[in-house]
Amino acid sequence: MAREPSGLQLELPLARPPLQAPALAATPVASARLRERLARLAGEDVRLSIHDNRSTMVSYRRMQGTLELRLHHMFLDADEGTVRALSEFVTARRERSRAGLAIDAFVRSHQARIRPSEPRPHLEPRGRQHDLAQLYASLNERWFGGAIDARIGWGRLPPRRRRRTIKMGVYYHESRTILIHPALDRPEVPEFVVGFVVYHEMLHQAVPPIPGRNGRKRIHPPAFVARERAHPDRARALAWEKANLSMLLGPRLRPRGSPPSPTG
């Protein structure tokens, strides 16, 4: 987002969702063995990531000649037929339908390995001044064709102490949750500023992070930056944030409902 004249990033602590239950341990040996099996069957270089996602068991993409494959940990000890189906699903277009059926059957037979859903605390999108739900719906329809699927609400107020930074919003990929800082919920803040912050956070789902150098993820890859710059309110929203930083860092009214931090 914008920067202070001193160069400090505009960051502010929001109420972060509690950490979710950890994934089952994916030992380097088991992961390496599965990667080797997949690379041999696929006939190409494979980069494998093991996760504990509840909804998407298999996903893949190709980056710079490498097949990047993300699998649920249930596949670590999959039988040879299932591993072959995984390979065919991502490499053999003619076999994709049959391979998908085999993978679905494997997932159904291993449902017990998928962690159960956790209670999702209420989020309050309606503030004293701005309705985040309305902004989200309008932005979703105009800029994303209704494809973004996330929860949105006002974050909790941080402890009352002197602060030099403020983070306007945050997106949590695992829980698909957007939190917007309550300092923006006041009459002095134009709706286009709040709308641009919401748009920025929605972009994180539309353009997820990509692998970067030294194993770090690039949370704002080129495609993200290009789409953010395409928003007509970007320049004036960032200019407003910079000009009104001291006001945003000052005393704030507690937002209606004072919602708890979400877990998704």
Q: Which domains does the chain have, with CATH numbers?
A: 28-113 (3.30.2010), 132-249 (3.30.2010.10)
What is the chain's mean pLDDT, rounded?
82
User: In this model, does residue 172 exceed pLDDT 70?
Assistant: yes
Residue 179: count other Cβ atoms within 10 Å of its Cβ: 26
Q: Name the one residue in this structure whose structure tokens are 């494997």.
A: 106
Contact (CB, 8 A) for 167 and 222? no
Q: What is the pLDDT of residues 100-148, one digit of tens each?
A: 899 999 999 998 888 876 666 789 999 999 999 999 999 999 999 999 9
Confidence of residue 34 (pLDDT cuts 50, 70, 90): very high
The residue with greater pLDDT, 232 or 25, is 232
Confidence of residue 252 (pLDDT cuts 50, 70, 90): low
Most trustworthy range by pLDDT among 54-63, 171-180, 194-203, 211-220: 194-203
Tokens for 174?
């695992």
Q: What is the pLDDT of residues 47-68, one digit of tens each?
A: 999 988 887 899 888 888 889 9
b/e for 24-57, b at 16 or more Cβ within 10 A?
Answer: eebeeeebeebbebbbebbeeebebebebbeeeb
Closest CA to 54 of 128, 116, 124, 138: 116
Alpha helices (runs of H) in the chain, residue ranges in sequence order: 28-42, 80-91, 96-109, 132-144, 191-206, 222-229, 234-243, 245-249
